[in-house]
Amino acid sequence: GEDVEQSLFLSVREGDSSVINCTYTDSSSTYLYWYKQEPGAGLQLLTYIFSNMDMKQDQRLTVLLNKKDKHLSLRIADTQTGDSAIYFCAESWDTGRRALTFGSGTRLQVQP
Amino acid sequence: DAGVTQSPTHLIKTRGQQVTLRCSPKSGHDTVSWYQQALGQGPQFIFQYYEEEERQRGNFPDRFSGHQFPNYSSELNVNALLLGDSALYLCASSLGLEQPQHFGDGTRLSIL
């Protein structure tokens, strides 16, 4: 079956790096995603990675994938107060036309 | 370029009533998925529509039904509302098998 797990809360100081972790159990997952949700809003796609990749970097965001341990992480460099939000990890078997399975989300609090 | 739009933004109903939520996909997208997000949880997949047909369905009862129109917009209908149906309902759209899902801001449904 599919299950995605995340830690509930992370607090960092402005300017530090944040690392949000996620584990998944479905070895057949093909794509893994990170979404951001601010209060009262929907989900904003931050980045995604194919399962045949180990790393993907996009400006301040770095995604690392360890397929052996089924572990995904999102690193945010130079974290800003505007990065405060809930971050969701999600998996699917392909991109557009397959259901996404989400974790429960990690609340990131950035202290000035 | 308009993103995914959902209406209404908020809705209050009573138990036993019926509700219809609407979604317009991002310009150029042809696939619409619906998710339910309970307070403090990650989104749960309800179903997905492509070419006006339901293609995938999550673990939701038949009280949840949907429709996709020729212009790719979609409706989610919920009959015989229960208190437990109170949630944020999110619509996501995508194009083809290579593009990820993009979300709207959701409809907040409250059942009294």
Residue A57: pLDDT over 80: yes
Residue A70: pLDDT over 80: yes
Residue A52: pLDDT over 90: no
Interface check A34 vs B, CB under 8 A: no
Q: What's the CA angle centered on B3, arms B57 and B87, to 5 degrees?
A: 45
Interface check B3 vs A, CB under 8 A: no
* CA B40 to chain centroid: 18
Residue A98: pLDDT over 90: no
Given the DSSP bridges, would you call strands A9-13 and A106-111 parallel, antiparallel or unpaired?
Answer: parallel
Residue A12: pLDDT over 80: yes
pLDDT tens digits in sequence order for chain B, 112 residues long: 679 999 999 999 999 999 999 999 999 999 999 999 999 999 999 999 999 999 989 999 999 999 999 999 999 999 999 999 999 999 999 987 668 999 999 999 999 9
Q: How far apart are CA B21 and CA B6, in angstroms?
A: 8
DSSP 8-state code for residue A39:
T
Q: In what order do the strands lie in the sheet with A71-76?
A: A4-6, A18-24, A71-76, A61-66, A55-58
Cβ contact, residue pair B100, A33, below 8 Å: yes
- H/E stretch holding A4 reads strand A4-6
More confident residue, A1 or B45: B45
Residue A2: pLDDT over 60: no
Most confident of A1-5, A94-98, A101-105: A101-105
The predicted structure's pLDDT at residue A92: 87
> Over the range A80-89, which residues count as b (16 or more CB within 10 Å of their CB) and which as e?
eeebbbbbbb
Q: Cα distance from A42 to chain B (closest Cα, Å)?
A: 4
Residue A1: pLDDT over 60: no
* CA A88 to chain centroid: 5
Cβ contact, residue pair A88, B43, below 8 Å: yes
DSSP code per residue over B7-72? E-SEEEE-TT--EEEEEEPPTT--EEEEEEE-TTS--EEEEEEETTEEEEE-S--TTEEEEE-TTS
The predicted structure's pLDDT at residue B82: 98
The CA radius of gyration of chain A, in Å to the nearest whole number, is 13
Interface check B66 vs A, CB under 8 A: no
Average pLDDT of the segment spanning A84-105: 87
Q: How far apart are CA B90 and CA B5, in angstroms?
A: 10
